[in-house]
Amino acid sequence: MQLHRALTPIFLALLAGCSLADIRPAELKREGVSEASAARGRVLLEAMQAAHGGREQWTASAYTVAVVQDDWPGSVSRALFSPWPDRNYPMRLTFENGADNSRADFFAGEWEGRVWGIQNWATYTKENPNAEPVFEQDDTIKFWLPTMQYFIEAPFRLPEAPIVADAGQTVFRGETYDRVYVTWISEEPQDSVDQYLLFLDPESHMLVWLEYTVRDFGGFVTGLMHYEDYQNVGGLQVPTRLTVVEDHESDAVLHQMTLSELELRPGLNRAFVVPKPDIRRAKHD
């Protein structure tokens, strides 16, 4: 058993009694989401999507492929959360844009040759890339593959949220940002629904920071991710370094994804990612 699989239930039990995190800025907590703030938020999100290459181009690109180095430098966070056998584990990640269907091909180290995959929320593994997929539900795969994809795609996925609000400008780490709050179902915090607070460059409209909750790891858990080193890939601006730092004041790195060899593959055979399209599971099984 990996250490994180043994420790995570203990960690979650300790957090069970903690209060539910709420990352809304004070004004939104006080005033709520008005029609005017929702409209302004939509304008900001539309500008962000355009700055990142546009939703139409993202949809037309169909599939994204990247080599991902997933680094967990801290021993505690690595033990609690990292699903990989080593600290900085390489994989080739292929995902269907916007669809939560993806696979990770491990090409080095202890897991060399193995494949993780998820299609229609059903998880599968392969002992080697040419083997038949074995469909068994695995909560680790179910969480990590869609999560990695979602953060990479955040400029295009977060505007899908039904609840949006302009959260006002702020100065953060010496820079001015436009902020947009997004969530689902209700603007207030909920046990099973995440909140996101986007920090956008007011001139380029690019996503620079993203604050978020992680309800799957307990109601108290939040994160702060820095989006850096954007690369133009087929007309899309894709971050090649996504860094989770300790908190608003600290630069201590908890988790960092580095992307290279980025490609858009509109002609990829869907069976590469979705080998058995008739097999599916409910998202919240």
Domain 3-12+22-272 in CATH 3.30.360.10? The answer is: no
* Full pLDDT tens readout for the chain, 285 residues: 343 443 444 444 444 456 899 999 999 999 999 999 999 999 999 999 999 999 999 999 999 999 999 998 877 877 788 888 888 889 999 999 999 999 999 999 899 999 999 999 999 999 999 999 999 999 999 999 999 999 999 999 999 999 999 999 999 999 999 999 999 999 999 999 999 999 999 999 999 999 999 998 878 899 999 999 999 999 999 999 999 999 999 999 999 999 999 999 999 999 999 999 999 999 887
| Distances from the Cα of 155 to the Cα of 52, 174, 265, angstroms | 7, 23, 19
- Beta bridge partners, 138, equal none
Q: At 204, which amino acid appears? A: S
Measured CA to CA, the distance from residue 259 to residue 256 in angstroms comes to 10
Nearest by Cα to 80 from 145, 13, 150, 137: 13
Nearest by Cα to 106 from 86, 118, 92: 92
Look at the block and give the residue holding tokens 């083997």: 131
Measured CA to CA, the distance from residue 275 to residue 60 in angstroms comes to 21
Cβ neighbors of 263 (< 8 A, separation 6 or more) are 64, 65, 66, 233
| Distances from the Cα of 246 to the Cα of 4, 211, 252, 253, 264, angstroms | 19, 11, 5, 6, 32
Q: What is the domain partition of the chain in residue ranges?
A: 3-12+22-272
- DSSP E strands in 234-285: the ranges are 236-245, 253-264
Give the predicted TM-score (pTM) of the model: 0.91
Sign of CA dihedral 39, 27, 151, 252: positive
